[in-house]
Amino acid sequence: MSQNFPTGITATKDPGGRSALQLDGAGGRVLVALCGAQVLSWHRGDRAVLWTASKPEYAAGKPVRGGVPLVFPWFGDHPTDKKLPAHGFARTLEWRVAAAEPGPRVVLATQDDEKTQALWPHAFALRFAIDLRDGLRLDLTIENRGNAPFRCEEALHTYFAVGDVHTATVHGLEGVRCTETATAPEVGWDPRAPLHFRAETDRVFHGTPDRLELRAPALQRTVVLHSKNAHSAIVWNPWPAKTAKLSQMAADDWTQFCCIETANVKGGALELAPGQTHTMTLRLDVGDR
């Protein structure tokens, strides 16, 4: 990247030497890789809000386990072909800088090509905006550039640092309909109470509110998630048995994080007509408590 950027945006490399941008603003400091448009880290002062696995791999064409990987055009395993990459291919593509503004705010972009058409035969364009003017704001825009409608899923697969997952709680999903997909889930949990982590958790919530709270007493921190045009949420922690099967993870990594994914998946998947666009927004605010 040889272009000149406004104050607050710097071309740099991530820990694996891949092309990246650093954003510095009122909302903190962000490192985002052009591979997958993945937000790798977000710091408020010297404190990391996002979590990264103990043995991260910064490889070309591969997502890092941590930060905010992007999910598109399908969530989880492909519905008919398990050989295709989990969570789609947006997180493996190389993105370009489409716009950079003071504040700072940067917009990354990508679109279909021969390789994506072989995996998913649709013409599309994606834009991902990262804004640090007030907390951290992320906007993912999908455009159908083809001549026929398509159905797709999307998610911001956000990994949050919690210090001790046993004491972390998620608020705002009480009474919201959900599907538990964990292999060994908690038995008999109360869906009317704030979500606690007592076993492997992989819950897909349907028809979610626009405001959620993650409380992490071990870090004396509360993160507020404000979303727009996101009708699904996935709350995930792998617990030790699943962690042992996952790449980039140390045995006790599961104790340090949880994922709250802002999404449109399953019954909330998008149906976009030719020429139609859809923007999903997540704004994160952090408070001490």
Q: In this structure, are residues 263 and 154 in contact, taking their beta carbons and an 8 Å threshold?
A: yes
pLDDT computed for residue 2 by the predictor: 52
This prediction's pTM: 0.97
pLDDT computed for residue 113 by the predictor: 97
Question: Distance between CA 144 and CA 149 in Å, rounded?
Answer: 7
Count how many residues are written for the chain.
289
Rounded to the nearest 5°, which phi and psi values hold at 67?
65, -135
Query: 3-state class of 218 per DSSP?
Result: helix
pLDDT computed for residue 205 by the predictor: 98
- The low-confidence residues of the chain, meaning pLDDT below 70, are 1-2, 289
pLDDT computed for residue 171 by the predictor: 98
Closest alpha carbon to 178 in 202, 158, 159? 202
Question: Distance between CA 21 and CA 50 in Å, rounded?
Answer: 17
Continuous segment of H or E residues that includes residue 145:
none
CA–CA distance from 219 to each of 6, 188, 198, 234, 288 (Å)?
Answer: 33, 28, 19, 22, 8
Question: Distance between CA 105 and CA 259 in Å, rounded?
Answer: 24
Q: Give the burial class of 251: count Cβ atoms within 10 A of its Cβ; 0-12 exposed, 13-18 middle, 19 or more buried.
A: exposed
CATH dotted code for 9-288: 2.70.98.10
Alpha carbons within 13 A on the beta-carbon side of 204: 13
Give me the residues paired with residue 71 across strands. Answer: 155
104 DSSP assignment:
T
Q: Give the domain ranges of the chain.
A: 9-288
Give me the residues paired with residue 270 across strands. Answer: 152
pLDDT computed for residue 289 by the predictor: 61
Rounded to the nearest 5°, which phi and psi values hold at 93?
-80, 155
Query: 3-state class of 253 per DSSP?
Result: helix
Question: Distance between CA 4 and CA 239 in Å, rounded?
Answer: 44
